[in-house]
Amino acid sequence: MNIPQFVLLLLALGSASNLSAQAPTSLHDASSPIQRPGPEFGNELKTGALKVGCTMDVTIAGEHVFAIGQGELRVLSNARGGKPVLIGKLAGLGNTRQIAVSRGHAFITSREDGMFIVDVGDPSQPKLVHHYDTAELATAIAVSGDVAAVGNRFAGIELLDVSQPASPKHLATLRCGEVQSLVFHGTWLYAGTWSEKAVAVIDARNPWKPLLVKTVPLDGKGDGLDVFGNLLAVATGHHARGKGYPKPGDAAFGSGHGIEFFDIADPADPKRLSGVKFPPFYRLGMDMWGVVLAGGHAFVNDTHNGFFVVDVRDPMKPRSVGWTQLPLVSKDPSPVAGLAVANGRVFLAGGFDDLHLVDTRLPDAEPQLSDKGLQVPEKPAEAPAHGLPSYLVDGSIRSVVPWKDDLLLVAAGSAGWHLVRQKDQGFERVAAHPTRGFARDVAFHGDRICVAESLGGLSLWQKQPSGETQRIGAYEVPGKSIHQVVLADEGRLAFLAVGPNVLHIIKIAADGQTALVMPPVTNTGLFYRDPISPLSADGRRVLVQWHVTGLHEFLIENGTVKRSGWIFPHAMDTECGATPNRDGWLATSRRGFFPLAEGETRSPDQIGLLKPNHRSFPGKPSISGQTLFITDPFLGDVIAFDHTDAANPKLTAELHLSGHPGRVAVHRGKALIPAGREGLLMWSLTQ
């Protein structure tokens, strides 16, 4: 593995459970041996497993413990004393990551599966009341009064009105880095950002217009945060700040693990007070760090390193007074993925084994609760800045495909898939089809339509002689989302992006029956938005992007699929991708875009990066005629280039959207932009 790939491997796999929590990763760095904290970290504490299964996060509300893992919510009694007993459970919650409980409802982020809102007013009978289609990989969650903040990794923080939990409303998106965790403090919101090694300070008093006020540097990748009074604690991990990227053996390697404390008497301007470093026990894949402040102590989870108790009664001189590691699972301690504290009892989420209970014998350790919370003012009357004709739905428009004549197929998230007529100056709804999950992508061949419905699977639809379109079949992967579909071989084959990072290739028979044509394929790295390229110009090739290990080519021959053997072996930036370009491909990166010939293995820098106007233009590319479009689903940029001279593209137009645009489609001389919560937009480049 070369160094650039190694760097991006850490970025990709080292952020809040990029791999499944149901089994340990086999990815290890042999130069970082297992370490057990010594007496300098205080006394070793005893743990007891509660036998509920692998757990990703845990919180406490009232007398109950709410734990998530393996797609389930588990509710236990006796949070503050006595033996906790499992009293309630709810399954079907996807790739669970973080949980917050507020006003009798549990808010559960589930990465590629969005966010679930569960009524826990009766803890023994949790009931799903809403499934929200988040912008990207829903990771962080914090709730204050009527406002929920959802951190979507690179795609920003979504603020939602949850005054009616069964029908949350999108308020705004704020982009502030790679968000992993969030905490409210009055009208302020703090975000732990991973790649940036920072805390983002956000003024949230008007949730329609949150403002990024400041970023505060950390000596490690930022994740969990908590506030007690005027003390802000931030848990960090992986590598310490320094020049370049540390290699095994460097002083900074693994030395980002720790906890940092800030004075927030002025909430807009945190002042660093002190910090404590934990052992530099470095692992890939399952790595997240969290903190709870209670009773003059900071309770910290540091993944495989374990759990630490830090005395912060004098925040200028913090000291570690206790620790524990969870049992070994496949050579390493099970990672502590989250924790909750009540009455000195600490519940530890064991990512690879179980929920554990630790009695710290600190009975005054109780988190600070606030009765105050944010309220949502009336929506300001504003026209969208872009001024483009739009098609709006009560959902997030993910993709658009021209179908027949002036008709478009639109994947509209929680609003299902729509048949829309494109008119000269706008759009007209023809039909709306509800789906079992979020409609995140749509494709067709002839009168057969395929819809990627996230947890609802892949649905198959057929236009009937009557003119109506009916559902005729489905392909489902239990517990896993299908979030992209690319058809090949005249609609007989479908390439599917499934779950966090698995490719399924299926055969679709004339009667709608489906079957795998080869075993599911996975590689190192995640699937971000639209990891599967469009078909090559000859219709025989597809590139699939696992962003850590690069682009992998699949070859279609006589109704079968095989790996061609060509891999472009360079890590791809998460928001980028490839599209057919004449006889080859065009690929994008954060450093520029570049032509990619069949069989190419040189790095993008060696191939030659194109930077029109001395800018790099990352995003998802698409080419129509002589026009190249690049859309950045994270930052909201849509760029158009004259691509007549491929070696010298010229920027011709650009848009900057608040939504999360997908690949552009061109129909009837207009560029169609699926722009998430901003709807489907029509862009005329001649205006």
Where residue 165 sits, what CATH number does that domain have? 2.130.10.10
Q: What is the pTM of this model?
A: 0.93
**Mean pLDDT, rounded, of the chain:** 92
**Cβ(170)–Cβ(660) under 8 Å?**
no
Residue-wise pLDDT tens digits, 609-664: 999 999 999 999 999 999 999 999 999 999 999 999 999 999 999 999 999 999 99
Q: What pLDDT shows up at residue 32?
A: 62
DSSP symbol at 41: G
* Rounded distance between C-alpha atoms, residue 332 and residue 329, angstroms: 5
Residue-wise pLDDT tens digits, 160-192: 999 999 999 999 999 999 999 999 999 999 999
Residue 125 pLDDT exceeds 50: yes
Please give the backbone phi and psi of residue 532, each rounded to the nearest 5 degrees, phi first. Answer: -95, 130
Residue 75 sits in which domain range?
3-25+45-359
Residue-wise pLDDT tens digits, 580-598: 998 899 999 999 999 999 9
* Rounded distance between C-alpha atoms, residue 568 and residue 576, angstroms: 14
* Rounded distance between C-alpha atoms, residue 265 and residue 273, angstroms: 12
Task: Please indicate, yes or no, if residue 173 is contained in any of the structural domains.
Answer: yes
- Give the largest CA-CA distance in the chain: 77
pLDDT mean over 36-59: 95
Q: Which helix (H) or strand (E) holds 144?
A: strand 140-144
Residue-wise pLDDT tens digits, 412-426: 999 999 999 999 989
* Rounded distance between C-alpha atoms, residue 607 and residue 532, angstroms: 22
Task: Please indicate, yes or no, if residue 254 is contained in any of the structural domains.
Answer: yes
Residue scoring higher pLDDT (385 or 451): 451
b/e per residue 513-524 (b: at least 16 CB within 10 A): ebeebeeebebb
Task: Please indicate, yes or no, if residue 566 is contained in any of the structural domains.
Answer: no
β-pair type (169-174, 105-109): unpaired
Q: What pLDDT shows up at residue 559?
A: 83
**Cβ(514)–Cβ(493) under 8 Å?**
no
Task: Please indicate, yes or no, if residue 284 is contained in any of the structural domains.
Answer: yes
Q: What pLDDT shows up at residue 331?
A: 86
Strands (E), 446-559: 448-452, 458-463, 469-475, 482-488, 493-498, 502-508, 514-516, 521-522, 541-546, 550-557
Task: Please indicate, yes or no, if residue 123 is contained in any of the structural domains.
Answer: yes
DSSP symbol at 363: T
For residue 405, what are the CA distances in angstroms to 15, 401, 420, 421? 45, 12, 11, 9
Return left, alpha or beta for 87; rule: phi > 0 is left, psi -120 to 50 is alpha, else beta.
alpha
Residue-wise pLDDT tens digits, 61-77: 999 999 999 999 999 99
Task: Please indicate, yes or no, if residue 241 is contained in any of the structural domains.
Answer: yes
Residue-wise pLDDT tens digits, 452-474: 999 999 999 999 888 889 999 99
* Total domain count, the chain: 1
Task: Please indicate, yes or no, if residue 505 is contained in any of the structural domains.
Answer: no
Task: Please indicate, yes or no, if residue 60 is contained in any of the structural domains.
Answer: yes
